[in-house]
Amino acid sequence: MIAISATEGYRLWADTWDATPSPIVALEERSLTPWLAELRPRRVVDVGCGTGRWMARLGGVGVDASPAMLAVAGAKPGLRGRVAAADAVALPVATACCDLTICALTLGHVRDRAAAMAELARILAPGGTLLLTDFHPAAAAHGWRRTFRHGGEVYELENYAYTLGEVSTDGLRLTRFLQAPIGEPERVLFERAGRPHLFDEATRMPAVLLSWWTRV
């Protein structure tokens, strides 16, 4: 396994990311969708938008640190002109400009999480919602890694697991959270990957940490 920075990893992974089924992504989407159904956002900023999977559903604008992932997003119908390259610690959007910020499976790649959380709070209007999802620290402690295959090699993305207490910041109130385990809907992805024997073990601990924060 080859350790690699998130920037370099997503450069290699960008062209195949959408076509690479992931139990973690599938679980995150399945778990977050009911929360999104409760919201009716008018102004959305997707921080760490990647190839635009949430933008395609929610609209709004997206930022990401990976030009390669943004190139894929920008080529999709309806997303051209709505994405920008930026680091999460210095977002190129106005203060209080949105009522929903989504940061999905991204914050763990950022070394300066405190600065990133301050930016996520800054861009939200009072009463606005931040939906934050990431790799669960329990899974990381158990030895799970954020990996992908490219050119016959397995790469491990730079990632810093965290607890919700470690990312609490002024201006944001934790409203709810969910520690989601792999479940039956993800079984088929283990089977397609030729790893059905890993499924039962994967269901025994939370794999994704989801949190809902409100701007105060």
Q: Any idea what the CATH number is for the domain that residue 124 is in? A: 3.40.50.150
Query: For residue range 32-66, what is the model confidence (pLDDT) as tens digits?
Result: 999 999 999 999 999 999 999 999 999 999 999 99
- Indicate the burial class of 34 (C-beta count within 10 angstroms; 0-12, 13-18, 19 or more): exposed
Is this model's pTM higher than 0.85 or not? yes
Percent of the chain beyond pLDDT 90? 100
Q: How many domains does the chain have?
A: 1
Query: For residue range 176-194, what is the model confidence (pLDDT) as tens digits?
Result: 999 999 999 999 999 998 9
Query: For residue range 107-158, what is the model confidence (pLDDT) as tens digits?
Result: 999 999 999 999 999 999 999 999 999 999 999 999 999 999 999 999 999 9
Q: How many angstroms separate the CA atoms of 18 and 181, rounded?
A: 22
Domain that holds residue 64: 2-215
Res 104: pLDDT: 98
